Amino acid sequence: MNKWKLLPYMALKGVGQNGRVYYPYIGAGIFSVFTFFIFSAIGYNQKLISGLPRAAYAWMMLQIGKALLCIILLPFLYYANSFLVKRRTREFGLYSILGLEKRHIGMLLCFETLAVYGLVTAGGVVLGCVLSKLLFLLLLRVTGLPLDIQFVFTWEAFKDTALFFAVVFFINLLYGLFQVGKAKPVELLSGSKKGEKEPKWIAVYGTLGTVLVGAGYRISICSEVNSMIFTDFFCAVFFVVAGTYLLFTSGSIFLLRVLKKNKGFYYKPQNFVTVSGMLYRMKKNAASLANICIFSTMVIITLVCTITLYRGLDSMGYYAYPYDASADYGAGDLEREKVEEKVKELEEKYGIRVLRADVYDFMKFSCELKGNQFETAGADTKFENTYGVYLITLADYNRLEKENKTLEKGQALFLSEGEDLGLDSIGFMGLELPVAEELGHLYPFPKSGKSNFGTDFVIVVRDEEEKDKCARAFAEKNGIADADGFVESGYQKVGILLEGEDDEKKEFVDELLVWMQGQEGFTKCRNGMEGREDTKSMYGGLLFIGILFGMIFFMCLLLIMYYKQISEGYEDQGSFAIMQKVGMSDREIRGTIHRQILMVFLLPLGVALAHTCAGMFMVDNLMAALDLFNSRMMIWWTLWVSVFFIILYGICYLATARTYYRIVK
């Protein structure tokens, strides 16, 4: 038979005969195509893009997720393919000896790559078409968009998916051709059995790895909620990932050296095979352990962020929009009785209870805080050091909080939306105000307990005279005072909070906002219900991405763990066969296998948990930047997710141990 006619048959047969290593790769590829196709298909849904309010937030998050997906899948599939090529080198060497030239082997690789690409793409797209509607409904659910939107298959999504994975498989093909082309037949026959040279500069690697991981931990633990939080996050991730690879490369080899020098430990059958086998493949072992550690950390942190974000969506919305409807007027332009009368009318009309109907005067100033002094924010003041300072009177405070507090002349109540500052006095534009009490709450100024670049402060002064005095000091400091040394800068806030579901409150709020806009002195209004829906749409898209990315990271972790045990099982097969011939029992072999795998699996798990503990400081601040301040909830879910992951990790350990044992047996 002609060689060129035989090659396609050999390619398909080669995939089938190597099913133990190819089938997981194909399964991972199908899931990768499925995920990418989902992002593309939803992104090309024209009604989602242009026909819905707030859909732009979800669409933007999907585009970001699609770009990140490309960054993750390309190196991962390249890594998996490099393992396949390594496993097939002996087979390719045998083909060379039997008469196939390298160009024939190259074409064999082309046919195999083309067959796998076609199968993976078709399988992923079909799976995507079957499950896309379900995931699309999930996206609509978490973003709060209408559930009656239909999912539509688009050829643009199929084209993007086919093109991206064509590039991925072409790169993998080039790698395979390069590996086969540069090697001689004898090298191909022994390629999968070739041991690794011990890397040099172990001490340098270890020191540098420790420094990088320490730097990443320090950035995470010492991070603050400011404009650099996202830059700090990526720097911390880079340092920890790079340091982890260096530490596993140096640390694992150093440990193996120590164990080998301990003759009482090393020259025991169950330990000799384990240590010698790991030294035989030291660099590859270190790389796979580092990958397992990194992906384990990603799975845990992604799950924690996803669950915390889901549980905190409502609180995030109410933090930014404490009222269902609010409006601003000129100071004193709208009578409180008039507002209460209108609210009572609407309450009776729609049968909805009003929880709060707040009317208060305030002044707001942009200031810089230095120590306990609020000063004018200059042109060179950084954004994160600029704060909003609200001035309200004690009478308005008592109405808002239903309190009956009193103040001496010159005294003030003080509220920081972030951390308590514990100040005995505060300075405002040169005025010294003794703090009678630092407040723990004041509606509608939410107390987050964590200072960030969105933190506001509230100063409650005794009366209008004291408030005007502060305003005059601000005006004089900024050169905006009139001839009498004063500038009017006060406003009046009207805020309404209702009881019930948003669907029930919509007509009430719509009519109230129309009425508010028609009153004298009106400047602006806010529909808090729509604002919360915007928040839910934006962060709901992020939540959807987190769900899919958690699945992707877990898939990557499983495949790396599986390939690690498969490759090491084949490499250790001969060693265990020799040990059996010299008297090692089946029970001793099984004990050695479990000891080896347990040692290998516990190390990356322990480091991953350490990375998670350090990383949660940064994640807590990232959530705060998104207006989610419930640190206690995050700690609670971190503990639960870690326990769940340890159990799942243990199940994977038992499964891979059985696979490894079947191979060496």
User: DSSP for 145-159?
Assistant: --TTPPP---HHHHH
Of residues 39, 28, 30, the one with CA closest to residue 157: 39
| Separation of alpha carbons 613 and 467, rounded Å | 47
The four Cα atoms 93, 94, 98, 100 give a dihedral, to 10 degrees, of: -40
| Separation of alpha carbons 384 and 365, rounded Å | 15
Q: 573, 605 in Cβ contact below 8 A?
A: no
Whole-number pLDDT of residue 95: 66
Q: 6-10, 117-121, 311-315, 356-360: lowest mean pLDDT where?
A: 6-10
Q: Which residues contact 345 (CB under 8 A, 6 or more apart)?
A: none
Q: Which range among 1-5, 44-48, 374-378, 573-577 has the greatest average pLDDT?
A: 374-378
Q: Where are the domains of the chain?
A: 1-194, 354-498
Residue 485 pLDDT > 50: no
Of residues 653, 645, 599, the one with CA closest to residue 256: 599
Residue 442 three-state SS: strand
| Separation of alpha carbons 333 and 507, rounded Å | 26
Residue 377 pLDDT > 80: no
Whole-number pLDDT of residue 198: 59
User: What confidence tens digit (pLDDT) does each residue in 109-164 have?
Assistant: 888 888 889 999 999 888 888 777 777 677 667 666 655 555 566 788 889 889 99
Of residues 176, 180, 193, 188, the one with CA closest to residue 281: 193
Contacts made by residues 128-131, CB under 8 angstroms, sequence distance 24+: 128/33, 128/34, 128/37, 128/38, 128/41, 129/153, 131/34, 131/38
Residue 479 three-state SS: coil
**In whole angstroms, how far apart are CA 491 and each of 331, 388, 397, 607?**
4, 14, 15, 55
Whole-number pLDDT of residue 665: 66
User: What confidence tens digit (pLDDT) does each residue in 387-396 have?
Assistant: 889 999 999 9
Position 187, amino acid: E
Mean pLDDT of the chain: 79
- What does pTM read for this prediction? 0.78
User: What confidence tens digit (pLDDT) does each residue in 29-48 have?
Assistant: 888 888 888 878 777 766 55
Mean pLDDT computed over 518-545: 83
Q: 168-172, 281-285, 327-331, 583-587: lowest mean pLDDT where?
A: 281-285
**In whole angstroms, how far apart are CA 262 and each of 253, 267, 273?**
14, 8, 14
Q: 277-286, 332-341, 537-546: lowest mean pLDDT where?
A: 277-286
| Separation of alpha carbons 527 and 509, rounded Å | 8
Q: Which residues contact 406 (CB under 8 A, 6 or more apart)?
A: 394
Structure tokens belonging to residue 599: 């040692």
| Separation of alpha carbons 363 and 391, rounded Å | 5
Residue 53 pLDDT > 60: no
Q: 319, 629 in Cβ contact below 8 A?
A: yes
Between 415 and 376, the higher pLDDT residue: 415
Between 594 and 247, the higher pLDDT residue: 247
Of residues 257, 221, 36, 254, the one with CA closest to residue 125: 36
Residue 484 pLDDT > 90: no
| Separation of alpha carbons 19 and 425, rounded Å | 74
Q: What are phi and psi of 225, to 5 degrees?
A: -80, 90
Work out the number of other CB atoms within 10 angstroms of the CB of residue 251.
Answer: 20
Whole-number pLDDT of residue 637: 92
Whole-number pLDDT of residue 501: 81
Residue 487 pLDDT > 60: no
Structure tokens belonging to residue 651: 């199940």
Confidence of residue 486 (pLDDT cuts 50, 70, 90): very low
Q: 5-14, 169-178, 317-326, 363-372: lowest mean pLDDT where?
A: 5-14
Residue 642 pLDDT > 90: yes
Residue 284 pLDDT > 50: yes
| Separation of alpha carbons 25 and 556, rounded Å | 10
- 460 forms beta bridges with 392, 413
Q: 279-293, 320-334, 608-622: lowest mean pLDDT where?
A: 279-293
Mean pLDDT computed over 250-263: 72
| Separation of alpha carbons 557 and 76, rounded Å | 10
3-state secondary structure 499-540: CCCHHHHHHHHHHHHHHHHCCCCEEEEEEHHHHHHHHHHHHH
Whole-number pLDDT of residue 115: 87
Mean pLDDT computed over 449-478: 83
Residue 639 pLDDT > 80: yes
Mean pLDDT computed over 633-646: 92
Confidence of residue 96 (pLDDT cuts 50, 70, 90): low
- 413 forms beta bridges with 437, 460
- Tell me, what DSSP letter sits at residue 383? G
Q: Which residue has the tokens 């990768």?
A: 32
**Residue 32: in which H helix or E strand, if any?**
helix 19-43
Confidence of residue 460 (pLDDT cuts 50, 70, 90): very high
Of residues 142, 502, 193, 432, the one with CA closest to residue 310: 142
What sign does the dihedral 469-471-477-480 (CA atoms) show? negative
Work out the number of other CB atoms within 10 angstroms of the CB of residue 370.
Answer: 10
User: What confidence tens digit (pLDDT) does each residue in 171-194 have?
Assistant: 988 888 887 776 565 555 555 455
| Separation of alpha carbons 599 and 609, rounded Å | 16
User: What confidence tens digit (pLDDT) does each residue in 403-456 have?
Assistant: 898 888 889 999 988 888 888 899 898 889 999 999 988 989 888 777 666 678
Whole-number pLDDT of residue 483: 44
Mean pLDDT computed over 353-366: 90
Whole-number pLDDT of residue 166: 93
- 389 forms beta bridges with 365, 457
Q: Between β-strands 456-461 and 386-393, what pairing exists: parallel, antiparallel or unpaired?
A: parallel
Q: Which residue has the tokens 């006060």?
A: 490
Residue 231 three-state SS: helix
